[in-house]
Chain A
């Protein structure tokens, strides 16, 4: 959660574009990643992320905190936008495009390439999981959200999210093993 988020949200609800800009800057990367891992296509991810923030800005008066960060609300909008988008057209999957945005950072080029291959294998395997399993893994391990926050976003109970997470990791290992054999 961004520092002093409740006050910034109230300012944004009052129509202050600058305040919504702060929320946009803070939440854009996680929302973009969440969408990208789900659709595996850069341009589609950009479009859906854009629509997500546009909807949020247009409907910000409807947002009620209820103790959860503003991000939870954004994730739910993004999730619904992905569902709507997938209803309209079959998504194109391009895992290499996803990993092309990974920065080399401090690793050597060879280490980075090894990592990139591992990520691509991981993302390819994840595509075989159920949608809710993918979402829980992304929210819990990529975005480091709590079980409670993830539960709110995917519309399940906290206990259900723990079970989904456990099953997703087990299934993912099985898929990686199967892909290695193939």
Chain B
């Protein structure tokens, strides 16, 4: 079999007539397209996709922002005493002196209140004792007056009887 290049290529081109079996084509085609459709949903319209993507992006951003606020707030609260620099222009000694003075004022006022509280009680007691004393003097006076009145009556009766 001595073939030229042209004869070989012509024979090779003849092999193009080979076709797959028709039944195989039907089955294979159906299986491939069905198998793919099994796990792939039909694509929604562009508008729906855009809206969905924006909605998803918005929700994600919102959740991330809230999360950041919570985390950063907690961290800030925990760390501000360690990380925040002292405020400029504030004299700490003056502040402490002022705070001491306020404390002293408060203590003085408390002492006064306590003092007046104690004295108020003793004054009431004095007043009560005085009232008792006055009452007893009144009673004595009344008794004295009663005795005096009887004596006067007796003397008057003697005068009347004599005259």
Contact = CB atoms under 8 A, between A and B. Distances in A.
Given A46-B20, A180-B2, A21 B29 contact: yes
Contacts of B12: 122, 137-138, 141-142
B11 interface: yes
Contacts of B15: 33, 37, 102, 119, 123, 142
A152 interface: no
A40 to B, nearest CB: 12
Nearest to A169: B5
B8 interface: yes
A118 B13 contact: no
Interface stretch (A12-20, A83-91, A153-161): A12-20
A179 B1 contact: yes
B16 A20 contact: no
Q: Is the interface of B mostly helix, strand, loop or mixed?
A: helix
A50 B110 CA distance: 98
**Contact size class for A?**
35 or more
Q: Is the interface of A mostly helix, strand, loop or mixed?
A: helix
Interface in A136-169: 137-138, 141-144, 169
Interface residues of B, number: 31
A36 B5 CA distance: 23
A46 B15 CA distance: 17
A177 B32 contact: no
A24 B32 CA distance: 10
Given A141-B8, A141-B12, 18 more contacts: A17-B33, A17-B36, A21-B33, A24-B33, A28-B28, A46-B20, A49-B28, A53-B28, A54-B32, A98-B18, A101-B20, A118-B11, A137-B12, A142-B12, A144-B13, A144-B16, A176-B1, A180-B1
10 contacts: A25-B29, A28-B20, A28-B29, A33-B15, A119-B15, A141-B8, A142-B13, A142-B15, A144-B13, A173-B5
